[in-house]
Structure 1
Amino acid sequence: MQTPSSAPTESDTTANQILDVAEAHIQRRGYNAVSYGDLADELDLTTAAIHYHFPSKADLGQALVRRYRQGSLQKRAAFDEQHAALRERLLAYVDLFSGIMEDGGLCLCGILAADAETLPNEVRQEVQQFFAEQEDWLTTIIGAGTTSGAGLQGCTSPRDVARVLLAAVEGAMLTTPHRDPETYADTLRRLVDSIVT
């Protein structure tokens, strides 16, 4: 395992490049529409080179979601450090997903969840863990940041509010006309304004 002070090896760099390209392809086309041949063509590698790093597509998918989960954890921790108020944390969270749309993609785990029935079990479990982590974090910050109830009509607990917000964050990516990031962010900002009372 690489230590923070050690430089990445050529193998580490290649594996990360494969993950970068795989993530971009899956975010635009879905898990089942992406092959090792697609990745090899873009990276000017052989499919055997990709299999060296990720023997099966399940291995690739699992590594990809683990990395995505870790990145999300780091970003949420930064929101907690940078913003004391609930509203600012939630707006930063919305902006995170809006940024994915600006880059032309959708949430990796949202895309994978749509393919859940055809995903390898280990990938499906990683995706479920991603959503559980999002919901737990939202529940914690909403619970700490609202003083009178859950802050959203019809919701009786911070977890209820977290589930509504997470569903909106993911679902609005698919339903926003032309997948316009501005419209997406505006819609979710209205929801945030309803939550923060």
Structure 2
Amino acid sequence: MTDFEQIFGRVPVMAILRGMGVDRSAALSNTAWDLGIDSVEVPLQTDEDERALREVVRLGAERGKLVGAGTIVRVEQVSQAQAAGAAYLVSPGLDPAVVRAAQDAGIPILPGVATPSEVQLALSLGLTWLKAFPATWLGAEWFGHIRGPFPQATFVATGGINASNAAEFLDAGVRVVAVGSALEDASQLERLAELLASR
């Protein structure tokens, strides 16, 4: 089974393409890959999202890139995402039933956490890579506090991250930050490229 060390590699930025439709998702996934961002997530909430996920998976396969499915909140979405070609799953929260379904299916899952109790529960389920969401609401200082009792946890920060605050979260010990609309802003793309080059 592919794990998140392989999925994210050494690149500290991932892209989330939420509700962008097939064409925009295809274009922005290529923008992300061209920039040096390896990991692209397509949230799975509508039939159009599933079509977008399948297209981005197809494009990723041509470039040797793995694509994830996000907003996995129900057990049945695990098989749906796998059928569409997703290599990993991302959830906004922590649902043990969804985590177990993903583990049974042999696909890595990144659940969302925002409290010490959720981090502890996730670790008890055998997870070490966790999504801190919403990151800007938690604040960069949260990661320093949470690392004390849970040094084995590795965090991906999502929610409100862009080129102007990404470095703050990475400096706080976050392994990966996720960006979305920044990929459509030329000035942010330039700053993201600088960030990637400096890490």
Work out whether the TM-score is over 0.5: no
Give me the TM-score of the superposition, normalised by structure 2: 0.28
TM-score (normalizing by structure 1): 0.28
Higher helix share: 1
- Structure number with higher strand proportion: 2
Structure with max Cα Rg: 1
